């Protein structure tokens, strides 16, 4: 891609009926690979706390860490829409904190949009960040940052009452300045209604096929994740085993003294070894 994709381009895609392909990734190397595909948007998710750091929830992701990896992804993929995930406690304490932290992602990391896991209690945050001139993706449905309160996650909007609440919440997010919605783990019938009503793009993560776009994390797409995947996730590669085999081959060659060989070593210029030996022989 030679020209940077913008939020306006994604809004235009929605109105033209074009689907948006989005991926969550957390590092320069993966971002650089993604930049050579048709991906339109990358989210640097706070799921990095789990995928990169090995925690059992997203909560330990810290602002400084998220800013650093977002900047790395921007260097790897300069032309996609880059969305930065606002980590736990970066926007919940005060509205001023929310605006300041959102601004860090824009100024320090080159993000074009920030994602905020939001309930009705966060409408003032959505509005304030938007009013500060920063595009906002409102994340509704399953919200991983609420794990300590909910204890476990289950599909959202599976009853009429829950569905009506989610539809109303989506409307409120947009009315308060959200430029995009991300809906996670919600009934497909309900997200179809929301997508049809919304004037902004709706990105689904386990939210059915009717959304304007879809997002999965890069390790799941590549088949690097070991163990069961969420119901909605799909692997398009089987790279975990391929990685294990490559690492194992390296270990065998090192342990059998096959690596490094002559071709993978640096060498002195012709004649210099003889000169060195003479120097050493004549050294006092």
Q: What are the pLDDT digits (tens) for 73-94?
A: 999 999 999 999 999 999 999 9
Q: What are the pLDDT digits (tens) for 119-156?
A: 999 999 999 999 999 999 999 999 999 977 776 788 99
* pTM score of the predicted model: 0.94
| 3-class SS shares of the chain: helix, strand, coil, % to 5 | 45, 15, 40
Please give the domain boundaries of the chain with CATH numbers for all domains. 7-237 (3.20.20.60), 243-282 (no CATH)
Q: What are the pLDDT digits (tens) for 177-193?
A: 999 999 999 999 999 99
Q: Rounded to an integer, what distance in angstroms lies between the CA atom of residue 112 and that of residue 136?
A: 9
Local confidence pLDDT in tens for the 284 residues of the chain: 569 999 999 999 999 999 999 999 999 999 999 999 999 999 999 999 999 999 999 999 999 999 999 999 999 999 999 999 999 999 999 999 999 999 999 999 999 999 999 999 999 999 999 999 999 999 999 999 997 777 678 899 999 999 999 999 999 999 999 999 999 999 999 999 999 999 999 999 999 999 999 999 999 999 999 989 999 999 999 999 999 999 999 999 999 999 999 999 999 999 999 999 999 998 88
Give the dihedral of Cα atoms 111, 214, 189, 117; nearest 10 deg: -30
Tell me if residue 278 is catalytic: no
Phi-psi region of 4 (alpha: psi -120 to 50; beta: other; left: phi over 0): beta
For residue 1, the model assigns a pLDDT of 52
Q: Which residue has the tokens 């909007």?
A: 157
With contact defined as beta carbons under 8 Å apart, do 221 and 237 qualify? Answer: yes
Range 58-62 contact pairs with CB under 8 angstroms and sequence separation of 24 or more: 58/87, 58/88, 58/144, 58/145, 58/147, 59/88, 59/145, 59/147, 59/148, 61/85, 61/87, 61/88, 62/87
User: Which residue among 108, 156, 184, 278 is the active-site one?
Assistant: 184
């Amino acid at each position: 891609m030679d020209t940077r994709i913008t939020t306006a381009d994604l809004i235009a895609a929605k109105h033209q009926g074009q689907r948006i392909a989005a991926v969550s990734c957390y590092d320069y190397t993966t971002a650089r690979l993604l930049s050579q595909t048709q991906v339109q948007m990358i989210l640097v998710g706070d799921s990095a706390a789990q995928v990169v750091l090995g925690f059992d929830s997203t909560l330990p992701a810290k602002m400084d860490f998220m800013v650093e990896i977002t900047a790395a992804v921007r260097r790897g993929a300069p032309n996609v829409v880059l969305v930065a995930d606002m980590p736990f406690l970066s926007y919940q304490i005060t509205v001023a904190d929310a605006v300041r932290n959102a601004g860090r992602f824009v100024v320090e990391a080159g993000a074009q949009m920030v994602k905020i896991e939001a309930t009705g209690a966060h409408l003032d945050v959505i509005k304030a960040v938007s009013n500060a001139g920063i595009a906002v993706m409102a994340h509704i449905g399953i919200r991983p940052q609420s794990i300590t309160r909910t204890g476990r996650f289950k599909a959202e909007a599976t009853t009429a009452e829950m569905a009506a609440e989610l539809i109303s919440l989506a409307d409120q997010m947009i009315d308060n300045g959200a430029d995009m919605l991300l809906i996670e783990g919600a009934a497909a019938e309900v997200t179809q209604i929301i997508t049809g009503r919304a004037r902004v793009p709706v990105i689904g993560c386990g939210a059915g096929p009717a959304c304007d776009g879809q997002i999965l994390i890069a390790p799941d797409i590549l088949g690097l994740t070991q163990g069961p995947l969420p119901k909605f996730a799909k692997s398009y590669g089987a790279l975990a085993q391929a990685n294990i085999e490559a690492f194992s081959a390296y270990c065998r060659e090192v342990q059998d003294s096959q690596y490094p060989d002559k071709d993978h070593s640096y060498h002195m210029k012709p004649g210099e070894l003889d000169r060195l030996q003479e120097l050493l022989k004549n050294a006092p």
